[in-house]
Amino acid sequence: MTRRALALAAAVCAALLLAPAPAQAGGRTETRQPARAHAVGKHDVRPLSRAHAHNDYEHERPLTDALAHGFTSVEADIYLVGGELLVAHDPEDIVPGRTLQSLYLDPLLHRVRANHGRVYRGSDLSLQLLVDIKNTGAATYTELDRVLRSYRSILTTYVRGKVRDAAVTVVVSGDRPRELMAAQRIRYAFYDGRATDLNTGAPASLVPLISDNWTTLFTWQGAGPIPAAERAKLRQFVRDAHRGGQRVRFWATPDVAGPERDAVWRELVAAGVDHLNTDDLAGLEAFLRSYERAAA
């Protein structure tokens, strides 16, 4: 690691000691590969509305691989270091130049322009960019807000009480400053809620997404049939969210290829869960396309 990278990591570690602990937005990927920014390739893949790439930046080609598999939601963790929004899971993973702009915002801007206003040609689905703030919540969000202004032509935007839909929707997770976001009259990002936000009257114009840890809400991990009480709880959870105009995502669902993972995914789809969380892009694509064929 270069001296500059070491200095950046040290700065983040210091900031983490002073900042409140961020809310966890997902488990770690067991295996990581170095990631680089690439031009986003195929534009004619049929999108999968439920596919969410957890810790997307840890794939060999951030964003590019997810879009090649038809994913419509991707997750990027960010640290504010030296005035830059750097993408990494942990402070020791920080590499200069791997900014949110270079890995995600710039490629998305170019792709949306090439596709006449959409991420996927012929599809009105908005790509969700879930940005997980890992340090100095309010300061990091303030810089994120400043950066997003430059990309507002492609972003879903909240303007004085109304939401204007666009090709990319940014949702902020992790150490997110709710009061700061709620006070904004113009906002280029939205708030990732939790189970405690259900049935509270939290408006979808601020909280369009409800995410939570599967293992804190449910015990079933895919072995055998889901207990009837847990199936009823899951479906009521989704109904409550949808009644409020909110989408649902769970992290920490089983993600090792096998019948247990597929069983959980089937229950999530049957319940109407909007985003299935995975590190296995090819595995989830194959599952969802097979599910679509069986339902046709």
Asked, for residue 295, whether it belongs to a domain, the answer is no
pLDDT band at 42 (very low <50, low <70, confident <90, very high): low
**Nearest one of 104, 179, 182, 112 to 147, comparing CA atoms:** 104
Asked, for residue 94, whether it belongs to a domain, the answer is yes
Asked, for residue 231, whether it belongs to a domain, the answer is yes
Asked, for residue 296, whether it belongs to a domain, the answer is no
Predicted pLDDT at 25? 39
Asked, for residue 163, whether it belongs to a domain, the answer is yes
The whole-chain average pLDDT of the chain stands at 89
pLDDT tens figures, 58-81 = 999 999 999 999 999 999 999 999
Structural domain harbouring 124: 3-287
pLDDT tens figures, 138-192 = 999 999 999 999 999 999 999 999 999 999 999 999 999 999 999 999 999 999 9
Residue 128, SS3 per DSSP: strand
Sign of the C-alpha dihedral computed for residues 189, 71, 134 and 150 taken in this order: negative
107: amino acid identity, one letter: P
142, 148 Cβ separation under 8 angstroms: no
Asked, for residue 151, whether it belongs to a domain, the answer is yes
Q: What is the number of structural domains in the chain?
A: 1
* Three-state helix/strand/coil letters over 129-163: EEEEECCCHHHHHHHHHHHHHCCHHHECEEECCEE
Asked, for residue 236, whether it belongs to a domain, the answer is yes
Question: Is the pLDDT at 52 greater than 80, yes or no?
Answer: yes
User: Could you tell me the pTM of the whole model?
Assistant: 0.86
Residues 6+ positions from 156 with CB-CB distance below 8 Å: 126, 163, 164, 165, 166, 168, 169, 170, 190
Look up the CATH number of the domain holding residue 160. Answer: 3.20.20.190
- Could you give the percent of the chain with pLDDT greater than 90? 83
- Residue 180: other Cβ atoms inside 10 A: 14
Predicted pLDDT at 36? 40
Asked, for residue 193, whether it belongs to a domain, the answer is yes
